[in-house]
Amino acid sequence: MKKIKLLKCIWIAAGLFLLFVLVSCVVPPLFQKHKAQPQTVYQRDSTERVLCIEDNQDALLWRLRVIESAQDRLELATYKYRDDESGRDVASALLQAARRGVQVRIVVDGVSGFSNVQSSSGFQALASEPNVQVRFYNPVNLLTPWKLNYRMHDKYLIADNDLYLLGGRNTKNLSLGDYHGAKDYDRDVLVYQPDPRGQGSLTEVRDYFERIWKISSPFHPSKKDPGELCRHYETLRQRLPEAFITPGWEAQTLPTQGITLLSNPIEAANKAPRLWASLQQLMAQGQDILIQTPYIICNRPMYEDLGRLCDAGKHLQVVTNSVETGANLFGCVDYLNQKNKLLRTGLTLYEFQGQRSSHAKTVLIDEDISIVGSFNFDMRSAYLDTELMLVIHSPQLNAQLRQTLQDCMDQSRRNLPDGTQEPGPRCEALKLTTGKQILYNVLRVLLLPVRHLM
């Protein structure tokens, strides 16, 4: 009898703790901060140059080239890391850089660190190297479950004082390389600073890394044999020799008239939507605005901001994944619930119907400003996560991206504010499976109380 009572008490205690965790995760983010001071964006004399990277295989190659070019230091920040082929490609290249004397520092989001990095023998071997330091941003702690929602969504790589790469790609096969399995479309920009004395965006990105580094927690790896990573590196050199040839950085890049880094507050807490406010300010200064986002999940203030742009006569177009193509289950379900609210703002909505889901995040303003990075047009990016976007003044890059996005629009359904639809010239007629239709209809109700977390 005593044993039964003890087991009952344990089950009750476990249930109460799970309820505590659930309430702690759901309730605090409800108290959103709606006022934020936008950052100032300056158009300045700049020697910085950019390369837009669209292809996943190219994205892997350029990461390896940047790592191979480093002589003194490398800083990597990643939201997700997977111990798959591309993850081992990057880890093995970082290991060899450390062994030739480069100081390597890596920051990983705490949830990703808990779920993936700690179980990766390859990453443990990398983190065990003398010249490598690894930290987790906001590591998982079940005693403080109210902090679990605050993620580091940044993705960038810095080499010495002349190169960095920033965008939307995580370190895994879905985003990098040409490996088997699912893939998505994504976008990075490589920034090259030919003048070592230049004070441009590279300085801003490095300063941002230092701030994140200071508030992140050291990762203490188990000692692992690096032999497998070393062998992987030798195989990698044979398999991708083009990644180990130093490119002509200037010849590969486009000129800019200035680049500015936009960011959210970095603390693991409810954030003032500074990056959202900065984007709104920039879009209000233009006339022709084209947005690409994997999904769009807005609250009332965000809908009102978009509506004000349309009311001011801005030509506002948004390209997002259709529910048939989208890879984010929650984003697709919320889109079904909220689509009419989006259309009532007055914008023109394109539903992308490509062969793969798009993960790219871009805003184009008129013919000279391109904004690329990690920010999704959703409440999580606005109020919960760290996010980065680069404001790039470059007519050449803008023209290149407009052509790329026009290609996406040609593969999309066009939704006008009056609710009518028009398929693009290369839009395929995709259909939801019966299973997905049932799942989406069930979740359309269940997810309403927690859409502020998506």
pLDDT confidence of residue 41? 84
Across 125-139, 170-184, 192-206, 308-322, least confident range: 192-206
pLDDT digits (tens, 9 = 90+) for 228-267: 999 999 999 999 999 999 899 999 999 999 999 999 999 9
**Amino acid occupying residue 66:** V
pLDDT confidence of residue 43? 67
What does residue 50 show for φ and ψ, rounded to 5 degrees? -130, 155
Residue 269's CB: how many other CB atoms inside 10 A?
A: 15
pLDDT digits (tens, 9 = 90+) for 6-18: 788 888 888 888 8
Pairing state of beta strands 296-297 and 377-378? parallel
Please choose, from the candidates 371, 401, 400, the residue with its C-alpha nearest in 3D space to the C-alpha of residue 387: 371
Listing from the earlier edge strand, what are the strands of the sheet with 259-263? 259-263, 388-393, 369-373, 362-365, 288-292, 315-321, 348-352, 412-415, 421-423
Percent of the chain with pLDDT over 90: 83
What is the pLDDT averaged over residues 280-297?
97
Across 4-8, 70-74, 109-113, 380-384, least confident range: 4-8
pLDDT band for position 310 (cuts 50, 70, 90): very high
pLDDT confidence of residue 1? 62
B/e letters for 38-58, b = 16+ CB within 10 Å, e = fewer, are bbebeeeebebbbbbbeebeb
Residue 449 has pLDDT above 70, yes or no: yes
- Work out the mean pLDDT of the chain and round it to a whole number: 94
**Amino acid occupying residue 304:** E
pLDDT band for position 180 (cuts 50, 70, 90): confident
3-state secondary structure string across 104-117: EEEEEEHHHHHHCH
Higher-scoring residue by pLDDT: 20, 365 = 365
**Amino acid occupying residue 239:** R
pTM of the shown model:
0.96
Please choose, from the candidates 161, 435, 423, 383, the residue with its C-alpha nearest in 3D space to the C-alpha of residue 269: 383
Residue 83's CB: how many other CB atoms inside 10 A?
A: 17
pLDDT band for position 142 (cuts 50, 70, 90): confident
pLDDT digits (tens, 9 = 90+) for 63-73: 999 999 999 99
CB contact at 8 A, 187 and 168: yes
320 alpha carbon, distance to own chain's centre: 15
B/e letters for 135-168, b = 16+ CB within 10 Å, e = fewer, are bbbbbbeeeebbbbbbbbbbbbbbbbbbbbbbbb
CB contact at 8 A, 202 and 48: yes
